Structure 1
Amino acid sequence: MFAVAAAVFFLLALIFALAGLSVGGVLTVTTLGLAGLLCVALHLMGVGAGWSVLKK
């Protein structure tokens, strides 16, 4: 799930960079890129992988 969120953040960062947009002082290309990198790191750590223990 974090990989999908990272892809969305990177896509938004690309659109903002190409259009030269910035929403206020908080939502910038750098902020979106860092949020995407955080999601990639969480994905690689296995957070939110959705595994479960099978009971017999």
Structure 2
Amino acid sequence: MLGIAAAVLLFIAFLINAGDVATNHVFTSTNVMLIGLALLALHLSGVGGGWTTRRRR
């Protein structure tokens, strides 16, 4: 799930950068890209990795 969110944020950052959209200082393409890369790093490290199995003994 974090990988999908990262892909969406990186695509939005690309659109902001490619379209030269004027945004405020918080919502710049660089900030959105960094949030997307942080989510991608969390996804690759296994956080929010989906299904977990619990075994009964």
* Count of aligned pairs between the two proteins: 56
Aligned match of 1:17: 17
Alignment of 1:31-50 (within 5 A): 31-50=31-50
Q: Tell me how far 1:50 sits from its aligned partner.
A: 2.1
Percent sequence identity is 38
Q: Provide the secondary structure at the position in 2 that maps to 1:26.
A: coil
Kindly state the Cα deviation for residue 24 of structure 1 after the two structures are TM-superposed: 1.0
Using the size of structure 2 for normalisation, the TM-score is 0.85
- Structure 1 gaps, min length 5: none
2:29 counterpart residue number:
29
TM-score (norm 1): 0.86
**Which stretches of structure 1, 4 residues or longer, exceed 2 Å deviation after superposition?**
53-56
Structure 2 segments unaligned to the other structure (5+ residues): none
